[in-house]
Amino acid sequence: MKLQQPKIAMNLDTGLLDDVFKYDGVIERADITESQLSNVTLDKLMIYSSVIKNCDLSHSHFNRVDFTDVIFENCDLSNVKIDFGSIHRVIFKGCRLTGVQFKKVSIGHVWFEEVKADFIGFIDAKIDSFLTSDSFLGSAVFYNTKLNDIQLEGTNLEDASFYQTPLKHCDISQAFFKSIQVNKEDLFGCKVSREQALQFAILMGLEIID
Q: What is the pLDDT of residues 122-133, one digit of tens each?
A: 999 999 999 999
Taking only the tens place, the pLDDT of each residue in 139-169 is 999 999 999 999 999 999 999 999 999 999 9
Report the percentage of the chain scoring pLDDT > 90: 89
Residue 6 is assigned to a structural domain of this protein: no
Q: What is the C-alpha to C-alpha distance for residues 57 and 170, in angstroms, rounded to an integer?
A: 30
Q: State the Cα–Cα distance between residues 58 and 169, nearest whole angstrom.
A: 32
In a domain, 4, yes or no: no
CATH code of residue 93: 2.160.20.80
Predicted TM-score (pTM) of the model is: 0.94
pLDDT in tens, 76-134: 999 999 999 999 999 999 999 999 999 999 999 999 999 999 999 999 999 999 999 99
The predicted structure's pLDDT at residue 124: 98
Sequence-distant (≥ 6) Cβ neighbours of residue 199 within 8 angstroms? 177, 178
Domain that holds residue 137: 13-203
Domain count along the chain: 1
Q: Say if 209 falls within a structural domain.
A: no
